[in-house]
Amino acid sequence: MQPGAFEVLATDGAARAATLHTAHGPIETPAFMPVGTKASVKTMDPDELAGLGAQVVLGNAYHLHFRPGEDVIAELGGLHAFMGWKGPILTDSGGFQVFSLLDTAKIDADGVTFRSVYDGAPARFTPELAMGIQRTLGSDIAMCFDECPPGGSERKVVAAAVDRTLRWAERCEATEPGPGQLRFGIVQGGVDLGLRRDCADALTAIPFDGYAIGGLSVGEPRPAMFHVTEETAPRLPADRPRYFMGIGDPEAILRVIAAGVDMFDCVLPTRLGRTGSAFTWDGRLNLRNARFARDPEPLDAACTCTTCTRFSRAYLRHLVTQHEVLALRLLTVHNLSFLLNLTRDARDAIRAGTFAAFLDASLTRLASH
């Protein structure tokens, strides 16, 4: 099928199992997308990542623009060839950096002036530049340049961000995409349901290939985050993919799937691996804890990843406390595997018509520790 074709294959309540077709192959949803900000999912070989079940990975236009530069990547065959990843790639526009680098960014109607995180030099980003970078990179899905206000911002600040996001979305849509490249718009509005509704309604009038829920998981209370997602997702077109930007703990993944979200990403599984922690059905484990020093059990008895089938908690704790690089790899393999398997099981449950029972059992199990 042509890039952009989106087939909803099964529903169970609001949850959906679908297939999004891209220039580098189909994405079966719900899908967790590992983050490879600088053209690398930290510690992971691309083939190993695919072996865990990852279908699509992320790159970041802001970071790749500065190092090594989109022109360098294009000269070397494009982002897929550069990083050795054969499947689909989604690139963030740099809009998140409007939030994360807000202390050094100046926002105006035309765009944003940053100070580079690499050398401190001023750098101007506009919607046209952000889309041009992504076109040159050759990603399969390019995100619109948007403004993500911090959690807890005053309503007038959020309203101004919504207005700029919509104006920038129109400019993003007016640019020329790369061959076969899909483009997603981003709904902003903080936790204000009225602003979310207005933004969603205006944004979906622009013919994007998919729509994202942005500006959540940035410091707002979790109940509010879930409520906004449940209210926003149904306002997005049923025949286009829905993407929640930046969510990656097991409970949250299950809840956004239940709300009708198809795609989601987060740095959490790799970040936890680098700090000595692991997802399990027994709760999040901190391997620095002395209670694991003689523990012969795997990280998670139900997990079949290579970390769990070969190594004990005691050994992993030893690697972590001795600052061995292998610890980062083994914990990252497990954390990614845990989330990718959870998402696959949710997808299978939707197709089987048993998602409601799967959701209840999984949330109960996660909450029991």
Q: Sign of dihedral through CA atoms 185, 92, 264, 5?
A: positive
For residue 173, give the nearest of 147, 210, 137, 201 by alpha carbon.
Answer: 210
Q: What is the separation of C-alpha 129 from the centre of its chain, rounded to a whole number of angstroms?
A: 22
State the pLDDT at residue 283. 94
User: Which residues in 78-112 are b (16+ Cβ under 10 Å) and which e?
Assistant: bbbebbebebbbbbbbbbbbbbebbeebebeeebb
Q: Please report the pLDDT score of residue 368 as a whole number.
A: 81
Report pLDDT for 251.
97
User: What's the mean pLDDT in 74-81?
Assistant: 98
Please choose, from the candidates 30, 34, 33, the residue with its C-alpha nearest in 3D space to the C-alpha of residue 258.
Answer: 30
User: How many whole angstroms separate alpha carbon 317 and alpha carbon 175?
Assistant: 50
Please tell me the predicted confidence (pLDDT) of residue 114: 86
Long-range contact pairs involving 114-120 (C-beta distance under 8 Å, separation at least 24): 114/62, 116/66, 117/66, 118/66, 118/67
pLDDT digits (tens, 9 = 90+) for 212-226: 999 999 999 999 999
| pLDDT tens readout for residues 290-320 | 999 999 999 999 999 999 999 999 999 999 9
Whether residue 192 is predicted with pLDDT greater than 70 in this model: the reply is yes
Q: If 0-12 CB within 10 Å is exposed, 13-18 middle and 19+ buried, where does residue 116 land? A: middle
Do 73 and 137 meet the contact criterion of CB atoms below 8 Å apart? yes
What is the arithmetic mean of pLDDT over 329-347? 98
The predicted pLDDT at position 240 comes to 98
Distance CA 255, CA 13 (A): 12
Q: State residue 8's pLDDT score.
A: 98
pLDDT above 80 for 256: yes
> Residues 354-369: what's their mean pLDDT?
94
pLDDT (average), residues 25-47: 98
Active-site residues: which are they?
92, 265
Tell me, what's the pLDDT at 102?
A: 82
Q: What is the maximum alpha-carbon separation in the chain?
A: 60
Q: Are 134 and 125 in contact (CB under 8 A)?
A: no
Backbone angles phi, psi at 261, to 5 degrees: -85, 140
Q: Residue 70 burial (CB < 10 Å; 0-12/13-18/19+)?
A: buried
Q: What is the mean pLDDT of residues 32-39?
A: 98
Amino acid at 222: R
Secondary structure of the chain as H, E, C letters? CCCCCEEEEEEECCEEEEEEEECCEEEEECEEEEECCCCCCCCCCHHHHHHCCCCCEEEEHHHHHHCCCHHHHHHCCCHHHHHCCCCCEEEECCHHHHHHCHHHCEECCCCEEEECCCCCCEEEECHHHHHHHHHHHCCCEEECCCCCCCCCCCHHHHHHHHHHHHHHHHHHHCCCCCCCCEEEEEECCCCCHHHHHHHHHHHCCCCCCEEEECCCCCCCCHHHHHHHHHHHHHHCCCCCCEEECCCCCHHHHHHHHHCCCCEEEECHHHHHHHCCEECCCCCCEECCCHHHCCCCCCCCCCCCCHHHHHCCHHHHHHHHHCCCHHHHHHHHHHHHHHHHHHHHHHHHHHHHCCHHHHHHHHHHHHHCC
Residue-level pLDDT at 281: 96
Whether residue 369 is predicted with pLDDT greater than 80 in this model: the reply is no
Neighbours of 297 (CB within 10 A): 12
123-180 pLDDT, tens digit each: 999 999 999 999 999 999 999 999 999 999 999 999 999 999 999 999 999 999 999 9
Neighbouring residues of 235: CB distance < 8 A, sequence distance ≥ 6: 196, 197, 200, 201, 204
pLDDT for residue 121 is more than 70: yes
Q: Which pLDDT belongs to residue 104?
A: 84
pLDDT tens digits, one per residue of 222-250: 999 999 999 999 999 999 999 999 999 99
Kindly list the structural domains of the chain, giving each domain's residue range(s) and its CATH number in brackets, ordered by start.
6-266 (3.20.20.105), 267-369 (no CATH)
pLDDT > 90? residue 62: yes
The per-residue pLDDT for 303 is 97
The pLDDT score that the predictor gives to residue 190 is 97
